[in-house]
Each structure stands twice: as C-alpha cells, then as structure tokens.
Structure 1
C-alpha cells in the first residue's frame, strides 16, 4: 500500500503527468497506517492459519486478531500482566520486522513527498514516528483486558524509540541527510562502522549456529516438549513459529555465554563456562537447547571464540575499506580498537533488548547481563580487531 503512493501518476496543471510531490503530512500518516495494518494483518493471518489446524476449533477470528495485537505490542517492548505475572520479553524477530517496515515507509515518504531541506525531512520522520506511536496506543487500548493487561507506558516508550530510530534511518538514507552527516566526520568513520556491522553479523551468525547445534543435539527433548504442549498440527506449528520469533533472543543469550558472564532463565537456571545450575524452566521447546546436566558442555567452551572471531572480521573489514589518505597500520589498529568497543556497546544493547521476564518470582529475569556482556565483548573484540586491522593494513600497503 505504501509503495503505491510513490508510484501513482500525478497530473500537472497542463493536464499531463508531473512529478508534483504529495503532501508530506498525509503521506507520512498513510505510511504509518499502512505499516501497522499490513503487519497486523500478516501476523493475524499466520495466527489464524495455525488456529484452523486445531481440532478443537481454535480461538476464532477475534482471538487470532487479539493474539496478533498482543504479540505486536510485545515486540515493541510493552509488558502484559497475566495470571502468572508480567510478561515482558520482546520477540526480536518481529521487532526487526516492524523496524524494517518503518524504515521502508520513511524512504517511501521521502520519495513521494520530496521534502525540501533537512528540517522538512526531520519533520517527516517525526510525523511518521508520532503516527506510529498513536496507532500503538490505540491498539493497546483495544487489546487490553482482564486476562492480559497491557502496560501502556512501556508500550508508548518502546514504540517511540523503535519508530524514531527506524523512521529516522529510512528518511535519513533516502534524503541524503545520513550521508551528509557522515561526510562531516573523519574519513575513517565509514570503515569503522562497516567493521562494526560485519562483526555484529558474524557474532549473531555464530550464536545462531550454537543454538542450532544445541537443539540438534537434543532433538528428542524438543520433540518431547512440543508433544506435551500440543501434539496436534496446530500446537506443533504454533510452537515452531514462536521459537522462530525468539531466535534472536536466543542469540542474545548465547552472546552472554560467549562473553563469559553466561545467561539465566529465572533464578534457578544459570548457564556459563564457570558452571551450570539447572532449575524449572517454562515448557518452551527452544529451552531444549539448555544443558541436560550440571556439567558445562563442550559447546559452551567453543562459544568463547565468538567475540574474538567477530573482532577479527570487524578489523579485517575495517582495514580493507581503508584508503591511503585514511592512514597506515597504526591508524587502522586504533580504528580496530574503536570498532571493537562499539561492537561491545551494540552487543550490550542487543542483549538488553533480548532479555526480559516471563512472570513473577523465579522467572522475573531471563537473559544475559547486558553491561557485563558488553564490556567483555568490547575488550576481547577490541584486541582482536586491532591486530587484524593493523596486519591487514600493513600487508595492503607493503
């Protein structure tokens, strides 16, 4: 829907087609509405398909829409208070999808309305983000109920942060404001940021590989939990979909394990290279990846290489982007240190976003400690990135 706004022919005063821009405010409002409508429709359709496979009849159309709306809110950082306590764990894959949609909407708004100047472009991002927050507030009032009370303050704050970042990114990229801002910074900024991105993607890919290996090693446990919760097609498919949405959260937990502090699933379960403590965990098939005994698994020790490998990739990527005017191996090494520190900061933010709570008491905290994880990754990745950047740059200039 949103992309059609940018492709509609518009007639000029002479009756022919002209590239007259659409009104900025109305375009931004339409784009925000399209993102929420399309996202909720797809999510409700997916929930509805799973519900139709339930031999008992499922929850119906209304129940599917209600569940989709609550998942949409959880993905933006809100909390739901249910009988077992507050649930505040964002399915990060859905969060990424919402951010992608808002960033795309921001680019469409710029193409369709052609804002003149930086102030107009920033205003377009503000209108898009504000409209998304208002729609989120409306959705929170609609899905709020006695069985699942929505925390409105967290819903507003989470949607505001997410929409501001995503819409600002999309508008900045399409309008050229982001490139103009980067041009004012030192020339080494671009290579450093590319190195951080490469290191982050490497770390996430390795963490997901760790999760996949752990699940494959206990496939019987996954099948047993899935069978107990829902042996029918609806139960198995729904649990699989939920596990897929939580895969980035699992990667964030593995980041804590790889950095050293480990991660916890409530107060009774802690997994780190220093020891394993097992306690009751929610009956979610993804938790089959947890160790079966108190012994530290070999996979946990192998995961310790993740920060170093991510730092090596970041440093190599940084140095390969360096030109003669950016400096030699010493400058590249210093840039590697900065890239490693920034990688630690980004990983700390990711771990913070991936954690949360699944109820009161023993399940009040799930995930890895963000500060300790970020500091550990920054130290390890910074050293590795500095060495890789210096050696790569020295070999390129030799």
Structure 2
C-alpha cells in the first residue's frame, strides 16, 4: 500500500491547510480500502467454496451476507439466531483486519511524512472514524429477521480494533514509537518489547501443542472435515472455518497451559487435573480433544509453557535495557513487570477468543480469561525475574 500511495504525485508533502486536507482524504481512502478489499476477498472465497457444492450451494447474495456477518463477528458482533445468540470472533480474520488497518494508517503516515504527535493523531482519527462508520453501515445492512445484528458491539469492537491497530501502524511508520515509549516510566521500549516477545513465544508454543494433538489423530481430522457432506465444498468449508478459528484454539490451549483448562460447552472440560468429554461441534479442530477421560501427557508438558514465555520475556528485557537502566537487580524488578504484562496480554487474548454458540449446552466455549491471565502472570513473572538479571549481566559483558 505504501508503494502504491507513493506513486501518486499529487499526494506528496505539501504545506498548511492543503496538506492537512490531502492527508485526511488519503487516510479516509486507505481505511475504506481495508473494508472493501477485505469483504471482497472474503466474499470471493465463500463464492468459490459454494461452486464446489454439487447441489449449487448458496446464491451470491447469501454468500455476500455471510461474508459480512463473518466480518462483523471478527470485530466483536453478536448474531441473534433462532437457536440463541452466536458470539464467536474468528481471530484469524480479526488479525487480518488489524493488519490491514495498521498498514493503511502507517502508509499514510509514511507517505505524508508525519513526524509530529498532532499529525499522527489526525491520521489515526480519520482512519478510526471511517472504519467505525463503515462497520456501523455494514451492521445495518447485515441485520435481518433470520440473524439480527446489534449495532453496539460491532461499533465498539471496530473502534477498539482501529485504535489499537491503526495507532501501532502510525507510531511505527512515523518514527514516533520510540518517543511515546520513552514517556512511560522506566525502560518503556525494552519493557514493551519483552512483553510482546513473551506473548508471541507463548502463542507459538500453544499452537505447536495444538498441531501435535491434531497430527496425533489425523484420521479424526479427515472424518470431521468430510462429515457434513457436500463433497469438496463441505471439506473446504470445514477446513476454512477451522483456519479462521485456529487462533481461538491457541487461546484455549493457553488456558490448558496455565492450569484452569478450557470448556467446549457445559459437558466438556480439558485441564491438567482432569478431562470431561461430551458432544462438541463437528469441526476438524475438535480432533485435538482427548479421546478418553485420561489426561494426555501433552497436557502435562504444556504446563511449562508460561514459564518458557517468561524466560523469553526476561531474556529480551535484559538485552534491550539501556546503559542508564541499572544493573541486574533493576532488571529482575522489571522482569516481574514484564511477566505480569505477558499474563495481562494473554488474558485479553483469551477473553476475546471466548465464544457463545446458542443458549444451550454450548453457551460457554473457551478458557476462563481472568484465571488464565493470573496464572500466566504468576508463572511468567517468576521466570522473567530469574532470566532478566542473567541476560542483563551477560549483555554488559
């Protein structure tokens, strides 16, 4: 997007009011492009899947409505169906929307050479306003008697998503990220990098646990992928939905690694202390669940993952601390903060990943956010407290 905008000669740096107006229009166009291109891509994918159905599948209009509903669900919307409320954010789609908003806002800041906090705030304000307005319009269009879409949840979700993703993009591409981080007390930049590293390591390890569990029962994955019929269309739809929900499953594994475990409805609990199984949705991802009431060895091994995340955060923190940020004792104290930060971010991820599939047995799906966040914060904090001073000592020679 940056290279495309840079080719437009009329959008180069200008002066005064004309420059501000051009920047605003460019930011609005970039934010709107995220919505248009994202919906087109998602709708096209659904249409292609429907063409594989030997019975013809859904018409294009229904595919477009489904794409809009998925787009809104990814931003926190809730659908009111005849079977009850449906609230599940396909986090892979949420991440793609966040990436698009971050690139859009960052590209405008880069092309317009935004270097002040005021200029960055104006770009972000326009991106957020356009995204929220477009999301509200989509919610009104997708609302119908078969699936009612409330306006408040998608608007608030779109607002938070645009603020966070767009803000990070503007700060990154305007060069203001270091300035903002340095305004926080203590080693702000090193601390944020440590928290991000610990959270990403935890997410990667939990994804690896999920992958091992799926590979261990690959036959069940195949059966579930083709279980709904529709030949290639059914399999493609099942696999596609499972891919969109893959980060949600990773968040559930975070609950397992932290200790509280996770629920897949009222009758299924998977934790290191016990396993209770009941009927679950027929998705390929569900093949990762244990086949018996016995606790798998993998569940016990996953208990070490919060500590691994804390070690990663501590190592990054010790290496990133500046010459004026103190020695090993100071690094150990900030290591506690970094570990708690990993717990907070992980708890937020688990909170967003939770789902409600109707008002029956599947009214609660996912891990408990508060208990998971607190457990990860405690374990990661201890590990980071040990790793940060060692890393600090080694980095100072």
TM-score using structure 2 length: 0.94
Residue 269 in 1 paired to residue 271 in 2?
no
Report if aligned partners of 1:2, 1:31 keep a CA contact under 8 Å in 2. no
Residue 192 in 1 paired to residue 205 in 2?
no
Distance 2:178 2:390 in 1: 29
Report if aligned partners of 1:315, 1:388 keep a CA contact under 8 Å in 2. yes
Report if aligned partners of 2:178, 2:189 keep a CA contact under 8 Å in 1. no
Deviates more, 1:342-351 or 1:78-87: 78-87
Residue 124 in 1 paired to residue 123 in 2?
yes
Deviates more, 1:21-30 or 1:343-352: 21-30
1:286 is aligned to: 285
Distance 1:326 1:55 in 2: 65
RMSD (CA atoms): 1.8
Distance 1:192 1:5 in 2: 34
Distance 1:153 1:34 in 2: 23
1:304 is aligned to: 303
Distance 2:188 2:96 in 1: 28
- For residues 182-331 of structure 1, what are the structure 2 equivalents within 5 Å? 182-186=181-185, 188-230=187-229, 232-331=231-330
Structure 1 residue 187: Cα displacement? 5.7
2:91 is aligned to: 92
1:155 is aligned to: 154
Once the two structures are superposed, what CA deviation does each residue of 1:132-189 show, in whole Å capped at 9, x if it has no partner? 1111111111122222111211111111111111112222222333322223335622
1:45 is aligned to: 44
Once the two structures are superposed, what CA deviation does each residue of 1:26-71 show, in whole Å capped at 9, x if it has no partner? 1122111111001011111111111111111121321221111111
Using a 3 Å threshold, how does the CA distance of structure 1 residues 394 and 108 change in structure 2: closer, same or farther? closer
Using a 3 Å threshold, how does the CA distance of structure 1 residues 231 and 95 change in structure 2: closer, same or farther? same
Report if aligned partners of 2:90, 2:248 keep a CA contact under 8 Å in 1. yes
Deviates more, 1:157-166 or 1:179-188: 179-188
Name the SS of the counterpart of 2:275 in structure 1.
Answer: strand
- For residues 11-160 of structure 1, what are the structure 2 equivalents within 5 Å? 19-20=13-14, 21=19, 23-114=22-113, 117-160=116-159
TM-score using structure 1 length: 0.94
Deviates more, 1:277-286 or 1:20-29: 20-29
1:15 is aligned to: none
Distance 1:284 1:363 in 2: 14
Using a 3 Å threshold, how does the CA distance of structure 1 residues 120 and 189 change in structure 2: closer, same or farther? closer
Residue 344 in 1 paired to residue 336 in 2?
no
Using a 3 Å threshold, how does the CA distance of structure 1 residues 293 and 349 change in structure 2: closer, same or farther? same
Uncovered stretches (5+) of structure 1, i.e. residues with no partner: 12-17
Distance 1:390 1:115 in 2: 38
Report if aligned partners of 1:333, 1:385 keep a CA contact under 8 Å in 2. yes
Name the SS of the counterpart of 2:55 in structure 1.
Answer: coil
Deviates more, 1:209-218 or 1:249-258: 209-218
1:386 is aligned to: 385
Deviates more, 1:40-49 or 1:183-192: 183-192
2:179 is aligned to: 180
Structure 1 residue 116: Cα displacement? 7.0
Report if aligned partners of 1:2, 1:30 keep a CA contact under 8 Å in 2. no
Structure 1 residue 122: Cα displacement? 0.9
Structure 1 residue 329: Cα displacement? 1.0
Report if aligned partners of 2:109, 2:174 keep a CA contact under 8 Å in 1. yes
Residue 10 in 1 paired to residue 15 in 2?
no
Structure 1 residue 78: Cα displacement? 0.3
